[in-house]
Structure 1
């Protein structure tokens, strides 16, 4: 059965379960539990843990939490065993325990649960290549992200964008890669595929890639579970191995380990905050600032904190590619301080201006910042910043015109990853519509508040009514602008 047909088959059953109140995200979680257990059984594992009570103690004569035992049950016995099994596996160590942490049975109809089990049982997952299994699961994740009600889109970065970023960075074997907000693991998988496809790996390099290359943080338990499953299907990690995906808040859990690469698309919330109960017994939100000695500025702006944290994660000469919203490039105060220090202490060599309409979270205007960490020096490391404007006069929508890797190939070619210092501008006074342009350090420092939100192309739709985008594209842009404005107003209200 083909990849597309398996995805369609697995996903079509979700519509049946929606009538029982099981949302897409809950359904995908159940698929994750069952698929993981089925693959563990296919691998020949026989030492499955036994059923436990709520205190984590094995039940007298408790059955093993195995796929075969699950398949042998029907009706109420199936529902009871499945519920106990999920709780029992959640107390295990390593990836196994992480996959089943806080797991719950959301399929209350035993007959429908049995159908899902039979559907998964018909496929021999171990005989599939890691590439095929990964693509199937990635297809399910993307379908879940596209469902507005699930809210999962905020954890899903368009794969075409990830692939382009990885193609620019070109990660190498025996190097570590970290994503402090890893979501469903898209950056890890793209980096894994790039390394495998572009290098003949020896035994030690394969072992390093499987067990020691990838590190990350994801505080949302359900998303972390999907990330671990996604990686496991791509042959990253082991069932009983230590989990490389931490559940801790990356901004608080400052570690001592430094990494060769940071690839990330942090959540787009602008301010960090926490809910407290005031003296009148009412709940209110307070801005949360991270007072870290290794930060250049103390601020409640989550994105500025993430950027400072990413700098702290890099080894000397480590490389970063990170998606960040526009406010990071122009906000004053702490934002200006962070930008100046970034230009001085790292080589911020490239900014990719992204179009709207490519993210599942609406109203997002974002950029990709590419920079290399450097050792301390008296003079600034950044000499020039290259900007590629793939936003002005570019229109994408998630359904009719989604972002494809081919759309970013021109940028990757101009980025010239093999020899960045031999780049050529496409912009000139003779060609003012060129999208690729460089700006010197002194020129950037002279800009008001060191503003890096740079654009120079004219919006053609404002000058030529005959070239207006399709109505659905215009409508989507209006919706995104309204939602972005509403988000800003909500932050102002929260501050008041």
Structure 2
């Protein structure tokens, strides 16, 4: 039996669909449309917080338009049976009565509260996938977002239909990535908490080379960029990305950011994944009995040199992560992430790619002991130095550590060092890796051979003779070709040296603090 509420609900959505026909949107058109929505927030919301408002609205509009599209299709199939058209099996997501986009659009006051009510109702009926996806932005704060401002935003989004017919998932996914980068560019420093430049992401994924049927895990997944790139990598290799469905896992400490990761995957057309919200180091979400779940590929760009990360509990860690060399220091969680990722890598197939600050390669004390242990167990395959100022929020030169649970026979007892510090394009505010730089780095790792000025293969005895210090210049000497350096080369060398000095000073300050001394004694 079809009740009046069900019929009215469809009639409103159907009328809206007729008013805004699903004209296909090109990627540039969609990017422009989304960018315009963000522009409407200027003056009301801090730029760093744009994503907390624009993404939920965009996702709400998308799933509402898709629901209406699905409803119309089911209605046509059933000769106008509204009850049949409302069946859950006809819809990707359930949307309760009164919670469609057009229901909120019809409101003229207290629009923020109407949005919150709709968001929570949708999350409640889709708990397995959409829990917490809309975040907890201050929609009801009328000082920031008066009804007039929200009406403008909603009317802007209402000008186009975002159904699957108008915007296929791959196009929508690309536009979502564009908007994430746009917000990252605008907020810069804060962006480092949730966004890794896509060129760096591609490098890590291409090195790990995930295959059909393999499991992939990012313990610091941010907005899910690494996991999306895994899917794109499988596509580029001619594989079927659907074979990864149900085999993609991530964990993110910030609830709103974990919601963005879920949106990212869903808008790319991926339905079956598991993104957990919690502190990975303190409360890892994926485990089987007394052991952490183990994956084929473990990949991450965790927060650099995280402080107060839970080192006290690490000494009695129930998952045994501290067995890999001990407990990292309170002021630097970098090797705790490495320990967690190794423990989460499957025996035999498990491989790890992790971004670290270069200071983690040479700092001594507890970190030096962990480094020595992991090197002696022959897990480290490659150390790749990157150029300075590639990442949001820091000018430091980072590095990539590649580890394997079982290295190829011809690589056992050896580590490849790559000096990629000069491979970048200088930008006004931030440097970038270009395709030719990525090709050079990837080819160098795959070749695993000496290359003057670029790469060197060291034995574990070589590294032992350097007290297990992984600082790249100890192994890769610059080429002396007798030519004078260009200004560009000199600036690059200066940036690298400056970044290294900051790392060294930060490490010294931590050591001084242990003795109750002020950093001023360094310059006294």
TM-score category (smaller protein): 0.7 to 0.9
Question: Of residues 414, 419, 422 in structure 1, which corresponds to 2:444?
Answer: 414
Matched, 1:226 2:257: no
The correspondence for 1:436, drawn from 421, 445, 455, is 455
Residue 304 (str. 1) matches residue 343 (str. 2)? no
- 1:267-316 deviation digits (Å, cap 9, x = unpaired): 11343357xxxxxxxxxxxx756222332211233011111111100010
| 1:452 to 2:482 alignment | no
Determine the C-alpha separation between the residues in 2 that align with 1:104 and 1:233.
Answer: 24
Matched, 1:175 2:214: yes
Which moved further from structure 2: 84-93 or 222-231? 84-93
Aligned counterpart, 1:294: 321
* Inter-partner Cα distance in structure 2 for 1:91 and 1:187: 28
Counterpart in the other structure of 1:59: none
Residues 68/253 of structure 1: CA separation in 2 closer, same or farther (3 Å cut): same
Structure 2: distance between partners of 1:385 and 1:486 = 27
Per the alignment, residue 302 of structure 2 pairs with 266
Alignment of 1:78-97 (within 5 A): 78-91=111-124, 93-97=127-131
Change (3 A) 1:477 1:117: farther
> Which range moves more in the overlay, 386-395 or 189-198?
386-395
TM-score normalised by the chain length of structure 2? 0.76
Contact 1:158–1:358 (8 Å) recurs in 2:
yes
Rounded Cα–Cα distance in structure 2 between residues aligned with 1:476 and 1:16: 38
Pick the aligned partner of 2:164 from 126, 139, 149: 126
Q: Select the residue among 250, 266, 279 that pairs with 1:216.
A: 250
Distance 1:165 1:149, change over 3 A: closer
SS in 2 for 1:316: coil
Deviation at 1:383, TM superposition (A): 1.3
Distance 1:6 1:71 in 2: 21
Contact 1:363 1:483 in 2 (8 A): no
What is the alpha-carbon distance in structure 1 between the residues aligned to residue 353 and residue 264 of structure 2? 22
Residues 90 and 103 in structure 1, CA contact (< 8 A), matched pair in contact too: no
Instruction: State how far apart, in whole Å, the 1-side matches of 2:508 and 2:451 are.
Output: 38
Q: Does 1:100 align with 2:154?
A: no
Q: Structure 1, unaligned stretches of length 5 or more?
A: 51-62, 275-286, 428-433
1:86-485 → structure 2 map (5 Å cutoff): 86-91=119-124, 93-105=127-139, 108-121=145-158, 122-127=160-165, 128-148=167-187, 151-201=190-240, 206=242, 208-210=243-245, 212-237=246-271, 244-254=274-284, 255=287, 256-273=292-309, 288=312, 290-291=314-315, 292=317, 293-295=320-322, 296=324, 297-299=326-328, 300=330, 301-317=332-348, 318-374=350-406, 382-392=412-422, 396-397=426-427, 399=429, 401-416=431-446, 423-427=448-452, 434-448=453-467, 450-455=468-473, 456-458=476-478, 464=484, 467-469=486-488
Instruction: Indicate yes or no: 2:43 matched with 1:19.
Output: yes
Q: Which runs of 5+ in 2 are unaligned?
A: 1-24, 72-85, 89-93, 517-524
- What is the aligned partner in structure 1 of residue 31 from structure 2? 7
Residue equivalent to 1:58: none
State how far apart, in whole Å, the 2-side matches of 1:488 and 1:342 are.
21
Distance 2:342 2:389 in 1: 29
SS class of match (1:18) = coil
More deviation in 124-133 or 395-404?
A: 395-404
The CA deviation at 1:72 is 2.0
How many Å separate the matches in 1 of 2:116 and 2:508? Answer: 44
Structure 2 residue aligned with 1:60: none
CA pair 333-195 structure 1, distance change in 2 beyond 3 A:
same
The match for 1:55 is none
In the alignment, the residues of structure 2 paired with residue 395 and residue 298 of structure 1 have an alpha-carbon distance, to the nearest angstrom, of: 38
Moved more, 224-233 or 96-105: 96-105
Instruction: Give the structure-1-normalised TM-score.
Output: 0.79
Q: Do the aligned partners of residues 104 and 170 (structure 1) sit closer, same or farther apart at CA in structure 2, a change above 3 Å counting? A: same
Cα shift at 1:141: 0.8
Deviation by residue 1:78-124 (Cα, 9 ceiling, x = unmatched): 33312332344455512222202435416622232223223333133
Residues 343 and 382 of structure 1 are in contact (CA less than 8 Å); yes or no, is this contact kept in structure 2?
A: no
Size of the alignment, in residue pairs?
444
Larger Rg: 2
Within the alignment, does 1:28 sit opposite 2:51 as a pair?
A: yes
